A and B are shown apart, each in its own frame.
Chain A
Amino acid sequence: MSASDPRPAAPRAAPALPGVAGNPRRPYVRPMAGWWLRNPYFVRYMAREGTAVFVAAYALILLVGLVRLAQGEAAWNGWLEALRSPLSTILHLVFLAVFVFHTVTWFEVLPKTMPPLLVGGKRVAQSAITAGAIAVAAAASLALFGIVWGLTR
């Protein structure tokens, strides 16, 4: 700093601590390992993401059905037979539970991804948007189930 510099002298630097060269600051970064187990909210988030694997797996099962169909009647009937096994029934119940969780948790995110929904100039509550979407999904699933049930009777 030159003698003509009008600024006040800078405050004296903190004395260097023994064993710490120059800057005594030593910010500590905490590890992230296992972060998703630290909070039930994160566990639920990971479960939501994980259910996508089940969705993909079920898409594969349906795809196998399509391949078997292309291979002829015997192959197709074999695939249908496999789906009727007790193990398959149990698996389907597991898939159903997982898909319900997948649907509900994604519809919980839905209101965060859209501009506010205005009805009569008032914002619709996020919980109402989630509930509405779940209701529509449930109604659509039931309708589809009813139609397929009716067609295959």
Chain B
Amino acid sequence: MKPAPFAYARPGTLAEAVALLGAEPGAARILAGGQSLMPMLNFRLAQPALLVDINRIADGAVLRQDADGLTLGPLVRHADLLRHCAAGRGHPLLAAALPLIAHSGIRNRGTVCGSLALADPAAELPACAVALDAELDLVSPRGTRRIGAEAFFRGIYETALAEDEMIAAVRFPPADPNWRWTCLEVARRQGDFAIAGLAAGFCATGAPAARLVAFGVAERPLRLAAAEAALTARGSDAAVATLADLDLLGGGDYPAAYRRQVLGTLLTRAAAALGAPA
């Protein structure tokens, strides 16, 4: 379990990092927190020719909260964001989701942008990004483009990132005080990736509205549009009934039927926690 040989670069700026990515597209890989990439290298599942370590780039750890919401640079660690949100800032969904990610040692290193870039279907943050309509800034030597989270996630470990692109920032819109949020998941042990999980929001003020994004059950974060409509119109039992029509992943020890059933449990519990009708 030693990585295949690779070259290593530690640029000091985002521009230098992106230039390295562009020099030979496909040959380089960004190293952020390393919590996912290092095991992949050691298993030789990833064999990049060049590792671009972004841990020393200037202003990478920017964490800015303003009228536009919450903007995070590529070196904001899970733990940084958790500390920020735990103090009642940031976003209540992120505050609920971050403690479910791994263990504190991993959260100290792992980055929010790295988690989005990895696009593990069982990860919490991609689902949160979809639930909150987060936007990502992707930079390459060709320039910068902005993309919505819904369009960014394409499949298992598949995103809209081009070979010469990296995530320069992610922006979560400001929290609407009329909405309540929670994140629930099922895992065998604390800190494990979810077997099934749900990022859920509900607004009871005015016309009821809901946001439900499942993770761990499909190839990418799965917006449960039918369940959202049923929840606001008829309550959580009706929302759970809509799950029967979904095509869910099986795999490992957990067949799709199991994931469907526990997703229903999570939906019922989330609805109760958010004050949505039963």
- Verify that A and B bind, or say they do not: no
